[in-house]
């Protein structure tokens, strides 16, 4: 079938009404059914736009004049919001953000998952009481300007580093430590890494923070293995911030955009800082994966645990278990938990965390969930409840097929991508499962990222 001619022309101005928001946070307007994506526009807004690019089935536009504002529109509180790109929804009231996220989940469940929204309840998004200063990890690139260092963020669509004193979604402590480390480095004449010349020493500063313990970790990512003025710098950092328990150097000598290199050495203090989610304690090293919003992580895991409906008799699988965070949460209430994860270092952390908390009913295996779990099942093992928390691309089909064969009573699906959640729910539904309810949880306020947990039961 021949594609029809686009009804819009590049560089022309149009009057439009926005209907929807994309998953990247752009407004969607339609002219004769032809979608046009416009940054910084919200559903129900009316505007004059200029079309800047026309593709085969859609176009991009730019706001020229906003004629009617959405009730959800606010002034973004952050002064660097438009330059940074780290947040995408600061121009939307928090209430509005939560509602957009719920709607996004509903839309994909209906469109991709083919679910009947009269039967599957999508609850209002669980948000934060105070949705600011939530990130427990700062990871900032370092550059140079005349007379000193800059540490902050890459300007949108570029590799220029803009200096930043305060990031509103970051724990203020993390910003304070980054600023102090920057000043201390300047004092000792430390040179920042220069991407083009592949010269200089300091590439990134990372700071991690344990919300419950208040412990801090500072990581220097450097091009070379030396550490100029080491004793003096350590002394200044630890005297300024007595809560710093660990200082680490990671060496990344490659020409790459990847932040970390392969070699990590503790140069002062402990290898780990600690944090707690609910009653479970976690050891966090420089390279461990750990959720960045610990307050909402507890909300998410409590919901997963509630959906699992454990009585103490169940055998539970936690697929894509990372450092065993969900597994250990489940181990509090299950007879036995079996966690599977592809990254060997994460499984080392998971075993350490199980020991740290005295859990003897959690076991972990390294490997692909879609290989390990089918093998485990072939050997005659079965789970009563399966929890999955896959990366953005969702579950591998081989894993879903094994779930359908194994027939656990319940599946609890924790998802960071509603689209792949919906796709996988469709497959489970076709195989005899029923999606009962879905709870979106806002793990990343002011960004477009949308997390949800679904309860799926065997019919
Ligand atoms: N449940 C954990 C981590 C979830 S992130 C938590 O809440 O902290 C998803 C995890 O899946 C990552 O740790 C990633 O390394 C892992 N992963 C990715 N592909 C995988 C696969 N095919 N099999 C098993 N684990 C995988």
Q: pLDDT tens digits, the chain, 459 residues: what are they? A: 556 688 999 999 999 999 999 988 999 999 999 999 999 999 999 999 999 999 999 999 999 999 999 999 999 999 999 898 899 999 999 999 999 999 999 999 999 999 999 999 999 999 999 999 999 999 999 999 887 999 999 988 888 898 999 999 999 999 999 999 999 999 999 999 999 999 999 999 999 999 999 999 999 999 999 999 999 999 999 999 999 999 999 999 999 999 999 999 999 999 999 999 999 999 999 998 899 999 999 999 999 999 999 999 999 999 999 999 999 999 999 999 999 999 999 999 999 999 999 999 999 999 999 999 999 999 999 999 999 999 999 999 999 999 999 999 999 999 999 999 999 999 999 999 999 999 999 999 999 999 999 999 999
Query: What CA–CA distance (Å, rounded) separates 403 from 233?
Result: 53
Whole-number Å distance between alpha carbons of 31 and 14: 9
Ligand 1 center–CA 25 separation, angstroms: 26
DSSP for 392-423, please give it: TT---HHHHHHHHHH--SEEEEEES-HHHHHH
- 80 belongs to a structural domain: no
Q: Give just the sign of the alpha carbon dihedral 403, 397, 362, 126.
A: negative
Q: Which of 68, 88, 115 is the last residue of a domain?
A: 68
Which residue in 448, 337, 348 sits closest to 392, CA to CA? Answer: 448
DSSP letters for 141-202: EEEEETTEEEEEEE-TTS-PEEE-S--TTB-HHHHHHHHHHHHHHHHTTPPBPBTTTTB-SE
Distance between Cα 296 and ligand 1 center (Å):
18
Separation of CA 321 and ligand 1 centre (Å): 6
Ligand 1 pocket test: which of 278, 297, 341 has the largest number of ligand atoms within 8 Å of its C-beta?
Answer: 341
Q: Whose CA is nearest to atom 10 of ligand 1?
A: 320
What pTM was estimated for this model as a whole? 0.93
Please give the distance, rounded to the nearest whole angstrom, from the Cα atom of residue 211 to the centre of ligand 1. 23
Q: Looking at the structure, do residues 209 and 298 belong to the same domain, yes or no?
A: no
Task: Answer yes or no: are the C-beta atoms of 363 and 389 closer than 8 Å.
Answer: no
Which region, left, alpha or beta, applies to residue 206 given φ > 0 means left and ψ of -120 to 50 means alpha?
beta
Decide: 1 and 52 in contact? Cβ < 8 Å: no
Q: Measuring from atom 5 of ligand 1, which residue has the nearest CA? A: 391
216-222 vs 244-251, strand pairing mode: parallel
Answer yes or no: do 311 and 378 share one domain: yes
Give the single-character DSSP code of 135. B
CB 458 within 8 A of CB 407: yes
**How many angstroms does the Cα of residue 341 sit away from the middle of ligand 1?**
6
Give me the domain span that covers residue 330.
101-129+293-458
H/E run at residue 291: none
Q: DSSP string of 325-375? A: HHHHHHHTT-SEEEEEES-HHHHHHHHHHHHHTT--SEEEEES-HHHHHHH
Identify whether residues 152 and 45 lie together within a single domain: no
CA–centroid distance, 369 to ligand 1, in Å, is 9
- Ligand 1, atom 23, residue with closest C-alpha: 368
Measured distance CA(244)–CA(191) in Å, rounded: 23
Contact 173, 216 (CB under 8 A): yes
**Residues 120 and 208 placed together within one structural domain of the fold:** no
109 and 43 within one domain: no
The annotation status of 341 as a binding-site residue, yes or no, is: yes
Q: Which atom of ligand 1 is nearest to the CA of 340?
A: 24
Mutate to test the pocket of ligand 1, among 391, 403, 453 (most ligand atoms within 8 A of CB): 391
How close is the Cα of 267 to the center of ligand 1, in Å? 29
CA 405 to chain centre: 31
* Gap between the Cα atoms of 408 and 338, Å rounded: 14
In a domain, 82, yes or no: no
- Which of these, 344, 331, 349, 325, lies nearest to 414 by C-alpha position? 325
Residues 438 and 320 in one domain: yes
Q: Active site residue: 78, 167, 416, 450, which one?
A: 416
- The SS3 call for residue 18 is strand
- Both 177 and 157 in a single domain? yes
385 and 301: one domain? Answer: yes
- 283 assigned to some structural domain: no
Whole-number Å distance between alpha carbons of 296 and 302: 10
Contact yes or no for 387/330 (Cβ under 8 A): yes
The answer to the question of residue 337 being in a domain is: yes
Ligand 1, CB cutoff 6 Å, lining residues: 289, 291, 320-322, 325-326, 340-343, 346, 368-370, 389-391, 396
Of the three residues 277, 310, 326, the one that is the final residue of a domain is 277
387 and 328 share one domain = yes
CATH number, residue 124: 3.40.50.150
In a domain, 147, yes or no: yes
Q: Is residue 171 part of a domain?
A: yes
Spatial CA neighbour of 149 closest among 189, 207, 199 = 189
Residues 308 and 450 in one domain: yes
User: How far is the first Cα of the chain from the last one, in angstroms, to the nearest whole number?
Assistant: 42
Would you say residue 445 lies in a domain?
Answer: yes
| Closest residue by CA, ligand 1 atom 1 | 321
Please check if 291 is assigned to a binding site.
yes
Residues with Cβ within 8 Å of residue 380, at least 6 apart in sequence: none
- Among residues 219, 246, 277, the one where a domain terminates is 277
Is 84 annotated as catalytic?
A: no
Q: Does 91 map to a domain?
A: no
User: Of the residues 301, 342, 452, which should be mutated to test ligand 1's pocket, given the most ligand atoms within 8 Å of the CB?
Assistant: 342
Supply the CATH number for residue 211's domain: 2.40.50.1070
Judge whether 389 is annotated as a binding position.
yes
Q: Whose CA is nearest to atom 22 of ligand 1?
A: 368
Question: Which residue out of 297, 322, 416 has the highest number of ligand 1 atoms within 8 Å of its CB and is therefore the one to mutate?
Answer: 322
Please indicate, yes or no, whether residues 374 and 399 belong to a single structural domain of this protein: yes
| Residue 166: partners with Cβ closer than 8 Å, 6 or more residues away | 172, 175
- The CATH number linked to 52 is 2.40.50.140
User: How many structural domains is the chain composed of?
Assistant: 3
Q: CB–CB of 440/122 below 8 Å?
A: yes
The CA distance from 233 to 185, in Å, is 8
Co-location of 260 and 302 in the same domain: no
């Amino acid at each position: 079938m021949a594609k029809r001619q686009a009804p819009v022309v590049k560089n022309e101005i149009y009057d439009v009404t926005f209907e929807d928001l994309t998953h990247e946070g752009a407004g969607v307007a339609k002219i004769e059914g032809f979608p046009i994506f416009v940054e910084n526009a919200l559903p129900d807004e009316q505007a004059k736009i200029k079309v800047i690019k026309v593709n085969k089935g859609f176009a991009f536009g730019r706001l020229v004049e906003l004629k009617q504002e959405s009730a959800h529109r606010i002034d973004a509180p952050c002064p660097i919001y438009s330059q940074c790109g780290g947040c995408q929804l600061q121009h939307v009231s928090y209430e509005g953000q939560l509602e957009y996220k719920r709607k996004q989940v509903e839309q994909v469940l209906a469109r991709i998952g083919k679910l009947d929204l009269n039967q599957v309840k999508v609850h209002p998004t669980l948000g934060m009481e105070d949705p600011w200063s939530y990130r427990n990890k700062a990871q900032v690139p370092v550059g140079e300007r005349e007379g000193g260092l800059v540490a902050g963020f890459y300007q949108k669509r570029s590799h220029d580093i803009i200096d930043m004193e305060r990031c509103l979604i970051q724990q203020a402590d993390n910003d304070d430590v980054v600023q102090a480390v920057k000043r201390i480095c300047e004092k000792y004449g430390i040179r920042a890494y220069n991407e083009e010349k592949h010269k200089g020493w300091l590439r990134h500063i990372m700071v991690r923070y344990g919300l419950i313990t208040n412990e801090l970790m500072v990581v220097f990512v450097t091009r070379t293995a030396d550490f100029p003025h080491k004793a003096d710098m350590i002394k200044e950092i630890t005297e300024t911030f007595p809560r710093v328990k660990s200082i680490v150097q990671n060496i990344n000598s490659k020409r790459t955009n990847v932040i970390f290199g392969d070699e990590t050495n503790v140069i002062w203090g402990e290898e780990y800082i600690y944090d707690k989610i609910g009653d479970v304690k976690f050891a966090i090293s420089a390279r461990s994966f750990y959720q960045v919003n610990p307050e909402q992580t507890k909300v998410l895991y409590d919901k997963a645990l509630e959906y699992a409906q454990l009585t103490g008799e169940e055998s539970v699988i936690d697929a894509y278990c990372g450092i065993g965070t969900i597994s250990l949460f489940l181990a509090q209430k299950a007879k036995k938990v079996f966690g599977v994860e592809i990254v060997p270092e994460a499984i080392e952390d998971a075993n350490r965390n199980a020991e740290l908390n005295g859990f003897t009913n959690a076991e972990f295996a390294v490997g692909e969930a879609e290989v390990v779990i089918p093998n485990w099942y072939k050997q005659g093992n079965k789970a009563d409840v399966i929890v999955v928390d896959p990366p953005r691309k969702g579950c591998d089909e081989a894993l879903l097929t094994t779930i359908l064969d194994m027939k656990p009573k319940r599946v609890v699906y924790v998802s960071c991508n509603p689209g792949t959640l919906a796709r996988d729910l469709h497959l489970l539904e076709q195989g005899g499962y029923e999606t009962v309810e879905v709870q979106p949880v806002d793990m990343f306020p002011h960004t477009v990222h949308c997390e949800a947990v679904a309860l799926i039961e065997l019919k």
